[in-house]
Structure 1
Amino acid sequence: MANFIVNTGFEINCGFLVSSDSIRSGIVQTNQILSDLPSTLYKSIDYKTTSAMIGSVFCDSLTSFIDAIVNPIEKGHPDLIPPKAATCSEEQLRNYPEGLEIKCTVGNIKTSANLRAGQTRIEMLTGITWQAHHREVSELLGLVWDFVEDGHSFNFPTITGAFYSNELCTDDWGEISGTTGRNTKVTGMGISGKKKMGNGWVVLIDNQEYVSAYSRFLRFSIT
């Protein structure tokens, strides 16, 4: 299993306490769960679905280490909420005032790359972009993952970094696409937002190739 570099000074209170150690523990548990699943699963689903699955597993794993629950409704916001919110109505849980929103990305790669599930992407990475359905996301824990090389015949998905900011604003998100037809509305984080996320790094895989790439794309330094 991967080792991690941790920002020991990180701790937030978003209706419950979240520390860098709890996030690291959630990542380790999630990565173990992901490696226990059959490789054929990852070969049969796309990266968007894999990202959604990783985010869901991490949310559930993180609640083992903090005093929070997973938002019980499908389109609830944020993803994790205080236990006291369990009795709230569906309408209230769609935009609960406390909690932690979590988004996951595998990053962008060169258009010429022809990679398949299980193939490491870090050498082909051209950027990191988290997406949202609206531009009002102001607080975010962003995860990054890859099929990390581990010497086995198949490289399983592994969370490789966690970043946080509670200072995002609408200008940190791009214009919303997919506003016509049946496409899902989505906005990508802009350069200013990425810099805020980078400055709030929480956990990084202890691998210089990843640290170097992430610090370059998100414009931060851990030294």
Structure 2
Amino acid sequence: MKNIPSTLSEQLQPSQTALVIVDMQNDFCAEGGYLHRTRAESGRNPIRVDSNARIADRIGELAQAARRAGATVAWLRSVYDFKYLADAHIAMREGEGCCMEGTWGADFFRIQPEPGDVLADKHTFSGFHETTLHAQLQARGIRTLVLTGVATNVCVDSTLRHGFFLGYHIVVLEDCVGSGNPTGHEGTLSTVRVNFGSVISSAEFLQVLGEHAPALQAL
């Protein structure tokens, strides 16, 4: 029987780990972004965005630590022009306008990719569906995905499930994911704990990285 990494320390070997940053974009995260603006106007389940700046800044700090430890940082960016979407996706949309190609809404929120990072555009909720992400991660020998970003119960959830089906170990950082749907957020975290992998804090992630890269222990 082959040796399968089962502990967090074994799974979070930096050279085989990717910190995946999902959809940290203005239309999802910012004041005046598509979700905040349209939900506020409709009065239907208004989206709170006040916590997104803290999440983004925390992810930015983790990305720097991951790079220093020798891990990969991978960014997912939604581009939702109707010309890219399947009919079923269009049918669920009330109007075109979210994460349109080349707009401020599609730009990253507060944090940005750096040279050497992985970047993949996607046109649906999963970061692996008809994107370059899997090929780029496989080329780097990645075996573990550490999920951050938004929304916990939609694109983070879809990406981690797809990644699990492709054979990746799954870790979710509970203080680095967010959603305007608290019930959905907690549901995804609960499901991951039972069926897909581990849910830990960013501090725990840094602690394990520090075991492999001692210089990070002082962070």
Q: TM-score, normalised by structure 1?
A: 0.31
- TM-score w.r.t. the length of structure 2 is 0.31
Name the structure, 1 or 2, with higher relative contact order (CA <8 Å, separation 6+): 2
Which structure has the highest helix share of the two?
2
